[in-house]
Amino acid sequence: MQRLTRQILAATFFKLLLNIGRRFVYPFAPALSRGLDVPLTAITSIIAVSQISSLAGLFSGPLADRMGYRLMMQMGLGLLAVGMLICGLVPVYWAVFFGLVLASFGKILYDPAIQAYIGQAVPYQKRGRVIGILEISWAGSTLAGIPLLGMVIEYMGLENGFLLLALLGFISLAALSRIFPSDRRDKEARRPGELLRSLSQLVRIRPAAGMLAFGFWISLANDNLFVVYGAWFENDFNVSLISLGLSTIAIGSAELAGEFLTTAFADRIGLKRAIVCGLVLAVIAYLLLPLMGTGLVLAMVGIFLVFCTFEFTMVTSFSLSTELLPHSRATMMAGFYAASGLGRMVGVLTGGFVWKSGGIAAVAWLSAALTVLGLLSLLWGLRGWSVNGTSENRAGDGL
């Protein structure tokens, strides 16, 4: 048990580094454009390519199931370290472009592998708690990791910020090799035909297909709002950049609250029931948002509720997804991440158009409707499904 606890804590820190490497470009885009002497659009192009590259992660899951979870986690941290090293040693635009995209591929490889490892090592009745702890790294990157990296960049320069992430990546790579046991698979299972058969499960098996559709719809709904909430604040409340920065902290805090709620309650009430409850609360939060637009503080409370309920739902769904294809856990998780990433990409496109057409009310109503589609997809996919034919609420000992 102590060994598993050590692995979970280490995996959370490794995931924190990967999340920082993926997310820090967003707030530091202006600093990157100045440091590299390129227009801001050149930096946003890096973000766009990184988002699109997440679809390639669809193939990382079958590879992890057949080559071993530890190996894919090692490759993920290795790509982060090498990518950041390139950025630090060659601080010119195209080198930084290549390095950051390479680092984003590291997260694509690492995430499905560590989720699958937890699915294999942790009993289902305790999995919500463990996945919730692991996903604290997502909010932690916004609330702690990125601000600390910002201080390094401010006082030591952009290149040293990259080199620090590279150093931590290499140290983490060495630590991972000692903390996690080898789990290499047999060579026969690595054949291309086997990989394609694994991917086909995602659409052939109803629970998996339903969960992928669920991830697509709720991610579309969330980014449909996320991409325009800043414009809403500026347009309706005439806020400053400082206030917008505070709203980012509110979102990070909401994500953290959602992750803690998953850790505390998801296993107790059952993962399926928890996801349904989260979706219903998210729909209510979206519908209330236009009514809470009478003042900035109330609007921030509304944004907090939206992101808290969304994060609780999403993190809990990670836990359940690890059990839908027990023999292809990483394949399932990679498919879920790819479907969610596709939903986010579509949401970014729809949000601006809907905002211009009908304001925050139209955006919120559409997000609520899309979340209902996510709920229907979940109910269709999981109709009649249970864990090995037994109740998911069976009691288990705490970690």
For 390, list phi and psi in degrees, rounded to 5. Answer: -120, 165
**Tokens, residue 267:** 């296993």
Residue written as tokens 């080559």?
Answer: 67
**Tokens, residue 164:** 């620090």
Q: Which residues on adjacent β-strands are paired with residue 390?
A: 387
Maximum alpha-carbon separation in the chain:
62
Residue-level pLDDT at 213: 97
Q: What is the separation, in whole angstroms, between the first and last Cα of the chain?
A: 7
Cα(184)–Cα(377) distance, integer angstroms: 35
Residue-level pLDDT at 16: 95
The topology (CATH level 3) of 198-381 is: Growth Hormone; Chain: A; (1.20.1250)
Please tell me whether residue 253 adopts helix, strand or coil conformation: helix
Residue-level pLDDT at 398: 37
**What CATH number does the domain located at 2-190 have?**
1.20.1250.20
Residue-level pLDDT at 50: 82
Residues of the chain with CATH 1.20.1250.20: 2-190, 198-381
Residue-level pLDDT at 396: 39
Query: What letter would DSSP give residue 186?
Result: P
Q: pTM of the predicted model, to two decimals? A: 0.86
CA 289 vs CA 367, 368, 387: distances in Å: 11, 10, 36
pLDDT 10s digit of each residue in the chain, 399 long? 688 999 999 999 999 999 999 888 877 877 888 889 998 888 878 877 887 777 777 888 888 888 889 999 999 999 999 999 999 999 999 999 999 999 999 999 999 999 999 999 999 989 999 999 999 999 898 888 888 888 888 889 889 999 999 999 999 999 999 999 887 765 544 555 566 677 788 888 999 999 999 999 999 999 999 888 888 888 888 876 566 666 778 888 999 999 999 999 999 999 999 999 999 999 999 999 999 988 888 999 999 999 999 999 999 999 999 999 988 899 999 999 999 988 988 887 888 889 889 999 999 999 999 999 999 999 999 998 887 655 454 433 334
Please tell me whether residue 387 adopts helix, strand or coil conformation: strand
